[in-house]
């Protein structure tokens, strides 16, 4: 069965679009790094979006429940990835019993939520003792530098490393890892090639609404998940934050 792709609105990334490949691979890199925590586990992906990440996790987990608030998105994920148990529901009140899952995955979602504190308390509630919460989110310091209001209109509040750490601790979770995703050598070479930032080069095309230059589109389409690095070095300079927190 052929499933129509989700429309590209700017709110979420989707696979299989050359112009979107940089962002898709950037998100995929975090999934590939964090999936080691999901082996044989019952996993809730809170905010599954298109569903590609939940499907990646499902290759390793015992069971994956994929939750999204948007009706169209949840319906698409259910059709595109029949191996998932897809639910539509509000992340502010997770529709799961207390202590019912081993892992909650929340990748590139918390920055979209109005009640981040309440959401993290809900994550702690549904996790079993010793269960892990996996979070990635744009680093406010580099994603919207010098601003309190996010540049992305779909984001409500972006977080700096210390802010994310504080929210996790306040929710009663123990932070096991706080790291940052950044460009590896191949992407740093593209940064140099495109005037210092391949990200800015892409944004300029989108803002201007013009045609993609052939060389930029080819470069973006060539990006791989392994072109990104995740490290605990210099978190303030990272592009995305990556956190693993444990329910005591």
pLDDT grade for 32, boundaries at 50, 70 and 90: very high
pLDDT digits (tens, 9 = 90+) for 115-128: 999 999 999 999 99
209 has a pLDDT exceeding 90: no
26 has a pLDDT exceeding 70: yes
How far is it, in rounded angstroms, from Cα 26 to Cα 209? 23
Residue by residue, DSSP assigns 111-151 as: GG-S-HHHHHHHHHHHEEEEEEEEEEEEBHHHHSTT-SS-S
pTM of the model: 0.96
**Which domains are present in the chain?**
18-246 (3.40.50.150)
Residue 40: predicted pLDDT: 98
pLDDT grade for 1, boundaries at 50, 70 and 90: low
Mean pLDDT of the chain: 96
Residue 6: predicted pLDDT: 82
Residue 12: predicted pLDDT: 87
- Residue 138: HSE in the Cβ half-sphere, 13 Å Cα cutoff: 18
pLDDT digits (tens, 9 = 90+) for 169-202: 999 999 999 999 999 999 999 999 999 999 999 9
How far is it, in rounded angstroms, from Cα 248 to Cα 246? 6
pLDDT digits (tens, 9 = 90+) for 127-140: 999 999 999 999 99
pLDDT grade for 162, boundaries at 50, 70 and 90: very high
């Amino acid at each position: 069965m052929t499933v129509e792709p989700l429309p590209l609105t700017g709110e979420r990334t989707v696979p299989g679009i050359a112009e979107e490949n940089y962002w898709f691979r950037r998100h995929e890199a975090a999934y590939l790094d964090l999936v080691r925590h999901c082996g044989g586990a019952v996993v809730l992906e809170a905010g599954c979006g298109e569903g590609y990440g939940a499907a990646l996790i499902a290759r390793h987990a015992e069971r994956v429940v994929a939750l999204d608030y948007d009706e169209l998105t949840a319906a698409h994920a259910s059709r595109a990835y029949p191996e998932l148990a897809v639910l539509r529901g509000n992340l502010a009140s997770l529709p799961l019993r207390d202590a019912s899952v081993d892992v909650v995955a929340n990748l590139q979602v918390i920055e979209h939520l109005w009640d981040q504190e309440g959401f993290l308390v809900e994550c702690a509630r549904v996790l079993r003792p010793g269960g892990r919460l996996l979070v990635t989110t744009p680093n406010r310091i580099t994603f919207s530098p010098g601003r309190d209001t996010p540049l992305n209109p779909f984001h409500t509040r972006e977080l700096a490393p210390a802010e994310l750490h504080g929210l996790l601790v306040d929710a009663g979770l123990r932070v096991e890892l706080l790291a940052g995703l950044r460009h590896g050598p191949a992407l740093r070479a593209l940064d140099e090639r495109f005037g210092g930032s391949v990200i800015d080069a892409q944004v300029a095309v989108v803002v201007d609404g013009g045609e993609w230059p052939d060389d930029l589109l080819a470069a973006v389409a060539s990006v791989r998940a392994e072109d990104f690095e995740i490290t605990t070095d210099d978190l303030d300079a990272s592009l995305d934050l990556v956190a693993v927190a444990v329910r005591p």
